[in-house]
Amino acid sequence: MTTATTLPHWETTPPDLKAAIREVKAAIRDRIAASGRTIEDVFAVAEARVAERVAEVEKAGAEAWPVIEYADIAAGAVPEAQVALLRRRGCAVVRGHFEREQALAWDRDILDYVERNRFFEDYRGAGDDFFGSVGSRPEIYPVYWSSAQMEARQSDRMARVQSFLNHLWTYESGGVQWFDPDRDSLYPDRIRRRPPGASSGGLGTHLDVGTLDLWMTRAYQQAFRHLFAGSVERYDPWDASHRTAGPQYPGTTMCSVFRTFQGWTALSDMAHDQGVLFTIPIPEAMAYLMLRPLLPDVPDDDMCGVTVNQVFPVSERWHPLLLRAKSGIPDVRAGDTVWWHCDVIHGVAPVEDQQGWGNVMYIPAAPWCPRNEEYAPKVREAFLAGESPSDFPEEHYERDWPDRFRAEQLNETGRRGLGMA
């Protein structure tokens, strides 16, 4: 039975998705009605807040993205106005995070690494449906354990920026510390290398934070408790409460860990119009996305197209207001890093006949917490065996590569990030 305080929940993928959607939507609507408001009233509040942000982003145009100097982060001297804009937009470029020559050297090292180990001869094609859509072969390299990637992940510079970003969140409340902002878990991801002259279909507008589990698991129902109780004004996208313990439904696009920010490190110079990342820089848009399926124009067994084993889609059909705020990153140089709040909608623009290289390695901010600690043993096992981590397709190209990064090369930050210290 569903009460005023308990929603039906499924900690693993429901066997009947449509039935589960109907049940949880009805229960959330009932809970909102019990607050004395209608879903239309509650959604209108979320929509108005987002509309205000959309207007701000449209007015800002090419200046929508905050740009922060790494030197200011290192000195603890980021101007308050920039911090406020970062919180408002949920994204930023960190200029000079790494020295440009260091980033270019890492790019050369990665290329040497894959060539020495005959990656191109052995490449079997995209291992997942989502990145398989980008169109160039290969663009996403399923490589995780190069020296370049591991050196960047465990570097002091990376730890400093991750800590700065983690501290933007409310990570303690109700007597609970939801995560440790000064210790990151080492979350291995892939690299992208796109050569000059390449054409790519890009990646559609989406979210990576979860799918149906956002409505259906107990932890996320608690994380979105204000939205589901009709008190949308109290919702704070920077509140980590309950996010750091819940499960995510499995799939080829899942992320087992809690990330405060997704991010990548530029390994080449990239112009803003060459098939680069764009966001809808409005963290509060998550309230719009979570409430929109509850409106009566959406079929009772549909969550605006959200399902399992796919990323969370954002579409013109259901979310036209949000798409008005698409904002691409500014020009970046090798060594800059790009960051976006885990709830921020994003995608990659298509490109024809790309000018210059488009190379990045994906490194997020994923602070130490129960959810990330649970995933750490799987990362350790994959690292020691040279295998693809369990969140990713089982491709395992690096198993027999003799020159991959080894355990004896880990520093204290790397060992802590793997749960080895």
3-state secondary structure 363-390: CCECEECHHHHHHHHHHHHHHHHCCCCC
Quick one: angle between helices 80-89 and 39-60, nearest 10? 130
Query: Do the Cβ atoms of 266 and 70 come closer than 8 Å?
Result: no
Per-residue pLDDT of the chain (421 residues), as tens digits, is 333 458 999 999 999 999 999 999 999 999 999 999 999 999 999 999 999 999 999 999 999 999 999 999 999 999 999 999 999 999 999 999 999 999 999 999 999 999 999 999 999 887 544 444 434 458 899 999 999 999 999 999 999 999 999 999 999 999 999 999 999 999 999 999 999 999 988 999 999 999 999 999 999 999 999 999 999 999 999 999 999 987 889 877 789 999 999 999 999 999 999 999 999 999 999 999 999 999 999 999 999 999 999 999 999 999 999 999 999 999 999 999 999 999 999 999 999 999 999 999 999 999 999 999 999 999 999 999 999 999 999 999 999 999 999 999 999 999 999 999 8
3-state secondary structure the chain: CCCCCCCCCCCCCCCCHHHHHHHHHHHHHHHHHHCCCCHHHHHHHHHHHHHHHHHHHHHHHHHCCCEEEHHHHHCCCCCHHHHHHHHHHCEEEEECCCCHHHHHHHHHHHHHHHHHCCHHHHCCCCCCCCHHHCCCCCCEECCCCCHHHHHHHCCHHHHHHHHHHHCCCECEECCEECCEEEEECCCCCCEEEECCCCCECCEEEEECCCCCHHHHCHHHHHHCHHHHCCCHHHCCCCECCCCCCCCCCCCCCCCCCCCCEEEEEECCCECCCCCCEEEECCCCHHHHHHHHHHCCCCCCCCCCCCCCCCCEECCCCCCHHHHCCCEECCCECCCCEEEEECCCEEEECCECCCCCCEEEEECCECEECHHHHHHHHHHHHHHHHCCCCCCCCCCCCCCCCCCCCCHHHCCHHHHHHCCCC
The residue ranges of every structural domain in the chain are 17-417
Whole-structure pTM value? 0.95
Report domain 17-417's class. mainly beta
